[in-house]
Amino acid sequence: MPDTVVLLLSVVPLAMVLMMIVSQRVGEVSDAYTGEITGRGVGSSTGTYGPTGRYVMHIRTDQGRELTIEVNGRTYQSLGVGDRVVKTAGARWPVRE
């Protein structure tokens, strides 16, 4: 019995974190919008495997929403402030309109 409790206490938090990550990613992919890039930024952090880059874009949608999204390096390089973008449902990243 005590082994079962220890197992549950170690597995349940991990499962909850994984479910949160998956639900966030599903929401990002199913989202669709058009808008304009209002800002960009690059951050970095040093983790276990060395430095990692983080590319962020700020987008104002045509509906007035302010979004801050993390994108890959290729998307970051291809889009600049003032560019009109469109993101379709099912696409991972926005593209130039």
Question: What residue has token string 């987008």?
Answer: 59
Mean pLDDT of the chain: 85
pLDDT classification of 41: cutoffs 50, 70, 90 = very high
CA distance 12 to 91: 31
**pTM for the whole structure:** 0.67
pLDDT in tens, 71-92: 999 999 999 999 999 999 888 8
Amino acid residing at 61: T
3-state secondary structure string across 63-84:
CCCEEEEEECHHHHHHCCCCCE
How far is C-alpha 79 from the geometric centre of its chain's CA atoms?
16
* Mean pLDDT in residue range 9-22: 74
